[in-house]
Amino acid sequence: MRTAICVVGARPNLMKIAPIVAALKAQGRFKVLIVHTGQHYDSRMSDSFFADLGIPAPDVNLEVGSASHAVQTAEVMKRFEPVLDQAADPFVLVVGDVNSTLACALVAAKKGVPVAHVEAGLRSWDRAMPEEINRILTDQLSDLLFTTERSALGNLVKEGIPEARVHFVGNVMIDTLRANLGRAVPVAATLAENGVSLPGPRHGVLTLHRPSNVDEPEVLARLMGAARLVAAQCPLVFPVHPRTRSRIEQAGLDRGLAEAGIVMIPPQGYLSMLGLMRDAQLVLTDSGGIQEETTALGVPCLTLRDNTERPITIDEGTNLLIGTDAEDIVAAARTILATGGKGGRIPEYWDGKAAERIAQILADTLGGSGAA
């Protein structure tokens, strides 16, 4: 039986890999090996997601941890190669755009092992983003490219990738969202668990983690200032990425946040985060995945970036690309709070069956035999 090596490295990967692993196991055509690179090593940002999403414990944990992009990518490659060498007739399935995605795809490609990339073809057109480099190179290395939206095909063809290798399957993150929406943790329970409360019945959600936003003191100060003004009208729950918390504290931007209506809590598990987003009046974020999840939930989203690799969330969904100007952010948030924001629709194939399509294409193209 051929081995499907499913790689996860960071928290967003877990939401994408969960339905794929389930679909492959249900299909029974491949032996499934889960490799966790350990790129995210905080238990709140990794281990809890395995539990929330019902993903089997990783078969291998490379325990790479945090480092610079070069060191982390190199370390994943060094530790992944022996795993690949020991697998029987393998192919490698990678998701998203983190360093682990590129590192494992590169090791496999150099050894002549087939690579399948889930979430291929997304482009921000901003090569200052490390994730953009990871996306472009992983797509060039991949034999099978699974896309979440039809516009991704044009991006890939322009980069010389044959159309026959590209398969539009939909969005596996939405598979996970649909499967777990009924299990989402109520907002009150999440707040109580973290020993905090809100001054009123409604709330928004704030997330920040991109280096361009949190590592630049001027930009971070501008965003936190905007968040304070938004929170004056609608309190914001702020699950804080560890690096973001450190930058906020270093800059002294944490003073008076609670009084301003910004409730900081630690990173949350998937089900708690899902509950926070589901019941929010609006979400302010620089996350790619949250742009998609809010579109699926019909919740207004302001993306605090100058570009996005997920244009469908703007063209068809509830997302607005607003940038990092404080006046623009506050004005857009006030409009949403007053009017409910723009309407959106669920994009094509965001129907909870993307992983099933992927599993079938893998069986048809890469074979596999026997029973689970």
Q: Report pLDDT digits (tens) over 78-88.
A: 999 999 999 99
Give yes or no: residues 210 and 327 share one domain.
yes
Q: Are residues 238 and 331 in the same domain?
A: yes
209 is catalytic: yes
Domain of residue 209: give its range.
184-339
Amino acid at 34: I
CA atoms of 253 and 255, how far apart (whole Å): 6
Q: Are residues 267 and 354 in the same domain?
A: no
Residues 133, 50 share a domain? yes
Residue 177 within a domain: no
pLDDT at 299 over 50: yes
Strand order in 262-265's β-sheet?
Answer: 262-265, 236-239, 204-206, 283-285, 301-303, 319-321
Same-domain check for residues 237 and 217? yes
In this predicted structure, the answer to whether residue 41 has a pLDDT above a threshold of 80 is: no
Burial class from Cβ neighbours inside 10 Å (0-12, 13-18, 19+) for residue 321 reads middle
Regarding whether 11 and 146 lie in a shared domain, the answer is yes
Instruction: Kindly indicate the confidence band of residue 372, based on its pLDDT and cuts at 50, 70 and 90.
Output: very low
The reply to whether 213 and 155 lie within a common domain is no
Q: Alpha-carbon distance 214 to 364, whole Å?
A: 44
Q: Is residue 42 part of a domain?
A: yes
Q: Does the residue 178 lie in any domain? A: no
Do the domain assignments include residue 175? no
Q: What is the dihedral of CA 160, 161, 164, 169, to 10 degrees?
A: -130
Shared-domain flag, residues 111 and 247? no
Q: What percent of the chain has pLDDT over 70?
A: 97
On the CB side of 236, CA atoms within 13 Å amount to 27
Cα maximum dimension of the chain:
61
Region 254-265: mean pLDDT is 95
User: What backbone torsions phi and psi does residue 140 show, to the nearest 5 degrees?
Assistant: -65, -30
Instruction: Indicate the length of the chain as a whole number.
Output: 372
Residue 192 has pLDDT above 60, yes or no: yes
What digits encode the pLDDT tens for the residues 119-148?
999 999 999 999 999 999 999 999 999 999
Q: What is the pLDDT of residue 369?
A: 47
293/354 same-domain check = no
Within-domain flag for 164: yes
**Mean of per-residue pLDDT scores for the chain:** 94
Give domain status of residue 176, yes or no. Answer: no
- Tally the domains of the chain: 2
**pLDDT above 80 (res 42):** no
For residue 63, is it within any domain?
A: yes
Specify whether 155 is located in the same domain as 195: no
> What average pLDDT does this structure show over 277-288?
97
Q: What's the pTM?
A: 0.94
Same-domain pairing of 166 and 279:
no
Catalytic residue among 36, 69, 203, 209: 209
Fill in the amino acid letter for 357: R
| Domain assignment present for 152 | yes
pLDDT winner (highest mean) among 2-16, 293-307, 358-372: 293-307
Output the domain CATH number for residue 20: 3.40.50.2000
Residues 158, 200 within the same domain: no
